[in-house]
A and B are shown apart, each in its own frame.
Chain A
Amino acid sequence: MTATTSDSAVTVAAGAPAPAGRRAGTEWSEVILKIYIGVFFLYLFAPLLVMSLAAFNAYEYPSVTQWRGWTLKWFGELAEDDRILQGIVNSVIVAVGVIGISLPLGLSGAFILTRLQSRFNNVLYATLVSPLLMPGIILGISTLIFWGRVNVSGGLLLTILAQASFIASYSMLLFMARLQRQDRVLEEAALDLGASSFFMFRRITLPFLMPTILTAAVIAFLQSIENYNTTVFAIGGDWTLVTEIGSRFRFGLSPVINVIGVLFVIVTVAAATLYTIQKERERKRKAALK
């Protein structure tokens, strides 16, 4: 069924200029494409709705079908759940550590790759982005084994190191994109006018990179908070919010998890909407300038 739907979708996709005889056919495929996209978004959002709804069900096993009436008691239980609250604190500690490590690493890598013409560039590049192309569990496992050799066992520190290995790659790609757009005349001028290279870096290069540094920090924070597959191997006896949620699936599944889900949904919808509105405004302003 998928095949037929997508075929029709492709048909409209090119938006053939309906030659007179095919007019009706084109309209048909437009309708089908719209239905297809509608179904896809329903598929994306219906499960989130189910999960959110169960947070308000009085039944103690998460469910929307065994309905026992509306309640807010699970929100109260969340507020008193010490392990979850500690998990949030741990998640933030890890995220801050990851930002502190991965941004300087990503920035250094980006400088070396954009400013250094070497025949090893491609190999260096491939190695530095390789953590992005590897399953998360592998990063956790290899960190665990390596540090195990020097008798450092799993915990928040190893989680920070394991996460930083791939989050630094994200930052590096962001910094590289920014550095490639840099007009280097300003840097040259500063040096010619006698600025020390450190002064030039602080007054010209860093301010130019500042927006990217902020973006990279936000992305690193989100990536770190959300991470599960790497963290679960490196966390040892400690826990973060997400690994705590993960362990509740085996023991102690309750609608408290759904409450966390609802909060996640609210925060995400708010943040994404603000981001989109901001981008729309920018687009309109640019369009108006043209």
Chain B
Amino acid sequence: MNELIRSYGKGLTAVFVTLTAFWLLILIILPQAFMLEHSLWIIDRDDQLGMKIDRAYSDLGLMEYDLNSKEGDEKTALQEEVDSLKATIAELEAQETDPPTVYGLQNYTKMSSLHFTIFVKSIVYALMVTVLALIVCYPIAFTIAKLATPQRAALLLLGLIIPYAINELLRVYAWLMILDYQGVVNSFLAWLGLVSFENKSWVPFLEYSGSVFVALIYAYVLFMIFPIYNTVDTLDKNQLEASRDLGASTFRTHWRVVIPHAKPGIAVGCIMTFMLSVGSYSVPQIMTRGKSGDWFSQLIYRQFFESQNWNVGAAYSFSLVLVCLGFILIMMKVFKVGIRDIAK
């Protein structure tokens, strides 16, 4: 703190600290904390409550009617019963307007088996997207960084930046037109005579989870290329030549020289691709359009905006956070990189 104050004075230092504290607390920590808290309670609504109250009122009416025909001790006893019933009604009504909240892990443990299957499916698909993207991107990133001439590399990078910068909704939308009932692929199949539009024997690609998978890869594959390219680019070419001169095979050169150097980039690429795929709301929303089953992100959306069950929604969201956190920790362990290497 002293060094900051010495260079920038107390006033500026106070501004820096205040702004950072605002960001840290109001935009990051507190929202996460409140989301976690929200996931840990339920509103304990008694479905029978309305009926109980109605019954109590009709009992009360009967008793008050009886009250007029009674005398002496009997009347006092009945009056007491009436009073206690009135108290009970007041209590029930208070419960109805302001139902008690109960803390616990119900929102997590009560995930239906259907929702749990979707949860697992989303994770598995995101893992497959990540692995496939890594296999596809590594050779391309390496070629651009080390094999292409500078001009060619600049051109190839331009070819990567353009699709990367175009909105993901619009890019995914293109696949909707390609895989639609009368889309590009089905038209091609019809041209081959394999399907026919007249009797609607087209392949309903959009009703399969595979179409979401295809679009996920298309949407996020470039998030794998750039981090790997950036790290491979800093590798000294002499190291490649040295490895070759010492008789290493191509595979061995990559395994022992290039990949160890590119580890932080590979880790970042995997983390970004996995995180974007598993938490993508746009891709499944566009590709399924209600025609095929939900993805986990869509389940979360429904909890918030359709069934208005924010507590369950918060629990599902926090589960997603845990999955991503777990994935990051595994990547850091596998590639032996620190947090500073990851976010650069």
Contacts and interface: CB of A to CB of B under 8 A. Distances in A.
Nearest to B161: A272
A165 interface: yes
A210 B18 CA distance: 22
B165 A6 contact: no
Interface string B262-300: 000000000100011011111001100110000001001
Interface stretch (B27-35, B76-84, B106-114): B27-35
Contact of B15 (A14, A108, A133, A222): A108
Interface in B287-338: 289-290, 297, 300-301, 304, 310, 313-314, 317, 320-321, 324, 328
Interface in B230-265: 240, 244, 249-251, 253-254, 258
B190 to A, nearest CB: 9
B281 A245 contact: no
Contact of B168 (A3, A115, A228): A228
Interface in A104-152: 104-105, 108-109, 111-112, 115-118, 122, 124-139, 141-146, 148-149
Interface string B111-143: 000000000000000000000100110111011
Contact of B162 (A33, A54, A272): A272
B168 A226 contact: yes
B170 interface: yes
Contacts of B18: 108
Given A54-B177, A249-B289, A198 B166 contact: no
Interface residues of B, number: 105
Nearest to A15: B147
B282 A228 contact: yes
Given A65-B184, A228-B169, A137 B300 contact: yes
A13 B282 contact: no
Given A111-B16, A222-B165, A6 B139 contact: yes
Contacts of A105: 19-20, 22-23, 27
A169 B147 CA distance: 33
Contacts of A137: 279, 281, 297, 300-301, 317, 320
Interface in B135-192: 135-136, 138-140, 142-143, 146-147, 150-151, 154-163, 165-171, 173-178, 180, 182-184, 186-187
A10 interface: yes
Contacts of B290: 250
* A-side interface mostly: helix
A200 B177 CA distance: 57
A242 interface: yes
Nearest to A273: B158
Contacts, number: 299
Contacts of A40: 136, 140
B2 to A, nearest CB: 9
Interface string B7-41: 11101100111111011100111111011001000
Interface string A1-33: 011001001111111110000000000000001
A33 B143 contact: yes
B168 A233 contact: no
A116 B5 CA distance: 10
A37 interface: yes
Given A16-B244, A264-B167, A246 B16 contact: no
A183 to B, nearest CB: 14
Contact of B23 (A41, A64, A168, A258): A168
Size bin of chain A's contact surface: 35 or more
B7 A246 contact: no
A17 B241 CA distance: 9
B324 A133 contact: yes
A261 interface: yes
Contacts of A12: 147, 250
A37 B276 contact: no
Contacts of B167: 226, 228, 242, 245, 264
Q: Which of B244, B254, B281, B344 has the most CB of A within 10 A?
A: B281
Contacts of B3: 115-117
B171 A109 contact: no
B51 interface: no
Contacts of A111: 4, 8, 16
Given A125-B340, A276-B157, 12 more contacts: A14-B258, A47-B178, A48-B163, A111-B4, A124-B24, A127-B29, A141-B314, A228-B167, A246-B286, A249-B286, A258-B173, A261-B166
